[in-house]
Amino acid sequence: MTREVVVTGLGMTTPVGGDVESTWQALLSGTSGIRTIDEPWVAEQPAKIAGIMAVDPGSVLERVESRRLDRSQQAALVAAREAWAQAGRPDVDPNRLGAVISTGMGGLTSLMDAYDTLLDRGPSRISPHMVTQIMPNGPAAIVGLEVGARAGVHGQVSACASGAEAVSYAARMIQTGRADVVICGGTEAVIHPITMAGFAAMRALSTRNDDPTAASRPYDLGRDGFVMGEGSGVLVLESADFAAARGATVLGIYGGAGLTSDGHHIAQPDPEGLGAARAIGFALEDAGMSASDIVHINAHATSTPQGDIAESVAIRAALGAHTDNVVVTGTKSMTGHLLGGAGAIESVFTLLALRDRLVPPTANLVDKDPEITLDVAAGAPRALPQGDIAALNNSFGFGGHDVALVFRSA
Amino acid sequence: MSQEILDGLAVIVNEVAGVPVEDVQSDKSFVDDLDIDSLSMVEVVMAAEDKWGVKIPDSEVKNLKTVGDAVAYIAANQ
């Protein structure tokens, strides 16, 4: 018998809003956060657009805090403070408090900036904060220090599945009795010429530069790749008993997780979606649920030609005929792809959809690809039924990582 | 001259560690009074080296207990 895990706090900073509610309202109204990158280096880049955080996290934090942190760490700290405040800053034994914050690429922009300094001014001018800015466990450590976590601080690394994997690991810490409360999520901020060039070299990015807000278009026939985004999402998980004892407001319930790997290709999805389908199946099993319990999926849906189809195939393989009754959305159409932050912000979106019984539309879905056999929300928010309902959040990462999470309404 | 260095150092300490400029006085200890940790001290030293064109080797940094120690070292080695 494992302990039930509930969600008591949510925090976000994204390309469409600096907090949870502004982000959520933007999504419900179908607003895109994608814009042209206003930097001189963009001139020679194939992809010149991105989802830049709507509110600069460095401007939200104290100046001294900001200068010591990588941008991904700044975003995580902003989101963590919002989530922790909403949870009511739980009075928990520090030895029973954990932090699990993931990133796909760590402090890569800080590393590149430091390398520029090294070449220009020599080794004596490298910041003493550079190492802690670039280490991939940095965001987890920063958030762990913020709340005083001593049960364990961890950072799962699985590219674009990292944020979702963090949530699953955090829940496991509670289920196995290591912690009563765990603050968890993911963060990313790597909009830099080196990453834009690298993803462009893989032909992974949309080059719809003349129409930024229309560039990320999951499931649409005109999709031509993902759009890089940045930001962070954070959740406060706690054992249901601990939350009840302190009278916390429960925002949603963590159902379960399924984690698999494709064993197919370093960067391309398995066209049969086998790994993803198994992840969904394991997540349902872990949650003690069946396919027919699911009413909504926040899909990975990055807007790549192959990936969106592979996920569609996987969903149908996992849910069978019930797939027709499930409302799917691709919120990356508005936020862009936050890489290691994606699974975290989309977990938050999934919980908000269950809370408000509303699925945000997939922006830019005009001409649906006939190979996509899903009921995709588009044009306007779609209502979900009242009563106890459950939803899935899918996240997949380069390397063949497949993570599916199940959440239930409070 | 020393007052100019003190004023400049106060700005640096404020920038690096957020300590109010008016708290950075000659008799204050970097560690005990101003709560400057070893990483922040490295930053203070780097900024001071850049500003006054001095070299402050690590072997000297450990002798710079107070703000006044740093002001005197910079004035003498500028």
Out of B17, B18, B39, name the one closest to residue A128 (CB): B39
Residue A353 distance to chain B (closest CA, Å): 41
pLDDT band at B1 (very low <50, low <70, confident <90, very high): low
Chain A residues with beta carbon closer than 8 angstroms to that of B16 = 64, 67
pLDDT in tens, A361-388: 999 999 999 999 999 999 999 999 999 9
Chain B residues with beta carbon closer than 8 angstroms to that of A129 = 39, 43
Between vectors from CA A320 to CA A317 and to CA A321, what angle results, nearest 5°? 145
Residue in A59, A102, A401 with CA at minimum distance from that of residue A235: A102
pLDDT in tens, A195-217: 999 999 999 999 999 999 999 99
Percent of the residues in chain A that have a pLDDT greater than 90, as a whole number: 99
Average pLDDT over residues A179-189: 98
Residue A22 distance to chain B (closest CA, Å): 31
CB contact residues (below 8 A), chain A span 104-163, against chain B = 124-125, 127-129
List, in order of start, the domains of chain B with CATH numbers: 2-77 (1.10.1200.10)
Residues A291 and A317: their CA atoms lie apart, in Å, by 11
pLDDT in tens, A125-167: 999 999 999 999 999 999 999 999 999 999 999 999 999 999 9
Q: Which residue of B has its CA nearest to A67?
A: B16
Out of A63, A124, A128, name the one closest to residue B43 (CB): A128
| C-alpha torsion angle, residues A285, A406, A101, A251 (rounded to 10) | -130
Strand pairing of A181-188 and A327-329?
unpaired
Residues A234 and A186: their CA atoms lie apart, in Å, by 7
Does the model's pTM come out above 0.90? Answer: yes
pLDDT band at B78 (very low <50, low <70, confident <90, very high): confident
Average pLDDT over residues A229-237: 98
Which positions of A are catalytic?
160, 300, 337
**Contact indicator for A382, A361 with CB cutoff of 8 Å:** yes
Structure tokens at A206: 């949309």
Residue A78 distance to chain B (closest CA, Å): 19
Out of A62, A124, A127, name the one closest to residue B43 (CB): A127
Structure tokens at A178: 């290591």
Average pLDDT over residues A97-101: 98
Average pLDDT over residues A1-27: 95
Q: What is the pLDDT of residue A5?
A: 98
**Contact indicator for A196, A378 with CB cutoff of 8 Å:** no
List, in order of start, the domains of chain A with CATH numbers: 5-245 (3.40.47.10), 256-409 (3.40.47.10)
Residues A354 and A288: their CA atoms lie apart, in Å, by 18
- From residue A207, how far is each of A47, A90, A198, A225 by CA, in Å? 5, 45, 14, 8
Residues A232 and A124: their CA atoms lie apart, in Å, by 33
Chain A residues with beta carbon closer than 8 angstroms to that of B42 = 128
Out of B16, B18, B42, name the one closest to residue A62 (CB): B18
Chain A residues with beta carbon closer than 8 angstroms to that of B43 = 127-129
Q: Which residue of A has its CA nearest to B17?
A: A64
Structure tokens at A114: 């430091």
Which site among A67, A121, A133 would you substitute to test the B interface, given the most B Cβ atoms closer than 10 Å to its Cβ?
A: A67
Question: Is the Cβ pair B42, A128 closer than 8 Å?
Answer: yes
Check CB contact of A40 with chain B, cutoff 8 Å: no
Tell me which amino acid residue A255 is: G
Residues A142 and A101: their CA atoms lie apart, in Å, by 9
Q: What is the pLDDT of residue A1?
A: 47
pLDDT band at A311 (very low <50, low <70, confident <90, very high): very high
SS3 letters for chain B?
CHHHHHHHHHHHHHHHHCCCHHHCCCCCECCCCCCCCHHHHHHHHHHHHHHHCCCCCHHHHCCCCEHHHHHHHHHHHC
Q: 């300094």: which residue's tokens?
A: A117
Q: What is the pLDDT of residue A256?
A: 98
- From residue A197, how far is each of A135, A160, A355 by CA, in Å? 22, 18, 39
Residues A194 and A186: their CA atoms lie apart, in Å, by 21
Backbone angles phi, psi at A376, to 5 degrees: -100, 130
Tell me which amino acid residue A250 is: V
Q: What is the pLDDT of residue B20?
A: 97
Its ipTM equals 0.90
**Contact indicator for A170, A100 with CB cutoff of 8 Å:** yes
Residue A62 distance to chain B (closest CA, Å): 9
**Strand pairing partners for A257?**
A405
Question: Is the Cβ pair B46, A63 closer than 8 Å?
Answer: no
